[in-house]
Amino acid sequence: MKLVFLAILGLTIALDLTAPAVTQEMVDHINSLGTTWRAGLSPRTIGDVKVQLGALPTPPERRFPARVHYDVKDLPAEWDPRKEWGDRCPSLKMLRDQGGCGSCWAFGAASSITDRICIATGGRVNPIISAEELVSCCSVFHAPLQCPTDQGCNGGQVGDPWSYWHSKGVVTGGLYKDPDTCLPYSIPPCEHHTTGPRPQCADMHFSTPKCVRTCTNSSIVYDKDKQFGDRPYSVSGVKNIMQELVDHGPVEAAFSVYSDFEAYKGGVYQHHSGSFLGGHAISIIGYGTENGTPYWLIRNSWNDDWGENGYFRILRGKNECGIEGNVVAALPR
């Protein structure tokens, strides 16, 4: 038995990292509630799940100023940018895999930035932004002003990749060993929260890749491949987040993960039971309503055989698990 101690609201709680993250009792309880989502068993332990949760808390003094000048219009009842922009911006349909690394904080940014560049240019430009560079170089060792607390595969704050994009720029980098980009992801894909054809992530824990400033593709010049963003900002308020998505594209957010999230198989998630396990960063891409329940449409970085083909939905308008409390974005320069 391996224990980890969490301090929550002044209480110290011991978690057995070798215990199953989801039990049959939890699944039966959730499915008996008649709630808005479906639960199922997972093969993973609590320790396996925690490795994937790399969103570190952002203290108030490090949060970006909120973008306040929103002209909130008559917003569409639902918004899915894959339907609006998918033909011109294929990145909107790209699912990335963070592998056996707690790099969600970099992936939520890299995928959102990629989409925003394409949308801002009307689909004329669609460079795939490198999660590899953000994971390896956005750190206290290589960019202390922009990324003073980030620890690569051991986690980072969601705002820091956007500060790095603004100040340092980010090169291109596609999926695992993509030969057509500068710095593709070097950690192989794996099965995060289900069984499938890939190796289990629990058997493939990786260290942070080395920060390099040369492209793996020798025909691409690192410095000339850089893409830059304007100054990042926070987005506060449900209507403003919706307007931001419609106007400029996906944003990054972090939320608190409880063990019942590991049981998610589809529907509109809301927390019902289980212990707090850590923070996870994702890309909010849209919104909608199902059977009267409003939701955010989320793109994850755990493969296409997790959740709803790699996506999930979470309750909108109630700051469920803190999903609306730390939303960040920036415009391409």
Residue at 134 is within a domain = yes
- Stated as kind and residue range, the H or E segment containing 283 is strand 276-290
> pLDDT tens digits, residue range 183-210?
999 999 988 877 788 988 878 778 999 9
Pick the closest to residue 209 from 281, 294, 291, 152 (CA basis): 152
Q: Which domain holds residue 302?
A: 3-327
Question: Out of 89, 101, 104, 153, which one is annotated catalytic?
Answer: 104
* CATH number of the domain that residue 70 is part of: 3.90.70.10
Residue at 322 is within a domain = yes
CB 191, CB 164: distance < 8 Å: no
Residue at 333 is within a domain = no
Residue at 220 is within a domain = yes
- The number of distinct structural domains making up the chain is 1
Known catalytic residue at 104: yes
Residue 14: what pLDDT?
Answer: 61
> pLDDT tens digits, residue range 208-254?
999 999 999 999 999 999 999 999 999 999 999 999 999 999 999 99
CB 87, CB 309: distance < 8 Å: no
Residue at 176 is within a domain = yes
Q: Which amino acid is at 171?
A: V
Residue at 303 is within a domain = yes
Question: Out of 137, 192, 240, 300, which one is annotated catalytic?
Answer: 300
Which range scores top for mean pLDDT: 15-19, 57-61, 224-228?
224-228
* Tokens linked to 189: 């894909």
Residue at 332 is within a domain = no
CB 51, CB 205: distance < 8 Å: yes
Residue environment code for 77-110, b if the CB has 16+ CB neighbours within 10 A, otherwise e = eebbbbebbeeebebbeebbbbbbbbbbbbbbbb
Which residues are CB-neighbours of 134 under 8 A, at least 6 positions away? 103, 106, 109, 110, 161, 164, 170
Known catalytic residue at 300: yes
pLDDT at 19 > cutoff 50: yes
Quick one: pLDDT band at residue 51, thresholds 50, 70, 90? Answer: confident
Residue at 103 is within a domain = yes
Question: Out of 137, 147, 280, 303, which one is annotated catalytic?
Answer: 280
